[in-house]
Amino acid sequence: MKKIKIKGVVFDMDGLMFDSERIVQLSWDQAGELMGLGRLGHNIYHTLGFNREKRKEYFKEKYGEEFPFEKFQELYRQCFQEYVKENGLPVKEGLHEILDFLWREGIPMAVATSSGQEHAEVNLKREGIFQYFQAVISGNMVSKGKPWPEIYEKACRALNLLPEQVLALEDSYSGLRAAHAAGMITVMVPDLLTDSSCVDEILDGKMGSLLEVRDWIASMR
């Protein structure tokens, strides 16, 4: 892999920092069954990286305009929170190690997540990592979510860096496309989606964990 000068790092959140996508999938199954619609968790594979409005659009297109998205969202969030309250929200391997490393190296960090601001801040503060980030750009802060580049453009501006100086860490195709469209360095750390063939041409790297990303960045310092 070629040597790249990285002056900042922007993290996706769900599926990248937190092992949350599987819990969301389970919550969608539970919410769908409670509504008498059957399991809906399989839809997550088609909506990873989407913000609320884009997910709403997806469900309306697939199940019809009458699909009760607001009720579905309310129920699955309840299921999600109940799971997290009982079991906790696990973090991905190497999260604390890469954050500590970047902090020591003086490399500024931000978050670009399709989740809402409140949800993002609650998760980051619960894990005790909120203070690492100069900015948290959420899905409700942009007019067009991933795969549009706006969320990553805002994150780069918040770091006061040019996109080509900033590494984007993502697990979803839509997130990777957004970061690439913004002109950033893109690395995929797979979660639910493991096949990168549809985005390989826009990737600067694909790594198995955040520990591997840390070691890669360290090798270029």
**pLDDT of the residue at 15:** 95
Q: What is the pLDDT of residues 63-87, one digit of tens each?
A: 999 999 999 999 999 999 999 999 9
pLDDT band at 221 (very low <50, low <70, confident <90, very high): confident
Beta strands at 205-206 and 166-170: parallel, antiparallel or unpaired: unpaired
Integer Cα distance of 111 and 152 in angstroms: 9
Q: What is the pLDDT of residues 142-170, one digit of tens each?
A: 999 999 999 999 999 999 999 999 999 99
- What are the backbone angles phi and psi of residue 220, rounded to the nearest 5°? -105, 0
| Tokens 């960045």 sit on residue | 217
**CATH 3.30.565.10 matches 8-19+90-219:** no
**pLDDT of the residue at 112:** 98
The 3-class SS string of the chain reads CCCCCCCEEEECCECCCECCHHHHHHHHHHHHHHCCCCCCHHHHHHHCCCCHHHHHHHHHHHHCCCCCHHHHHHHHHHHHHHHHHHHCCCECCCHHHHHHHHHHHCCCEEEEECCCHHHHHHHHHHCCCHHHCCEEEEHHHCCCCCCCCHHHHHHHHHHCCCHHHEEEEECCHHHHHHHHHCCCEEEECCCCCCCCCCCHHHCCEECCCHHHHHHHHHHCC
Q: Using an 8 Å Cβ cutoff, are 42 and 26 in contact? A: no
Beta-carbon-side half-sphere exposure of residue 101 (alpha carbons within 13 Å): 18
Q: What is the mean pLDDT of residues 53-64?
A: 94
Q: What is the mean pLDDT of residues 107-121?
A: 95
pLDDT band at 2 (very low <50, low <70, confident <90, very high): low
Q: What is the mean pLDDT of residues 20-44?
A: 95
pLDDT band at 49 (very low <50, low <70, confident <90, very high): confident
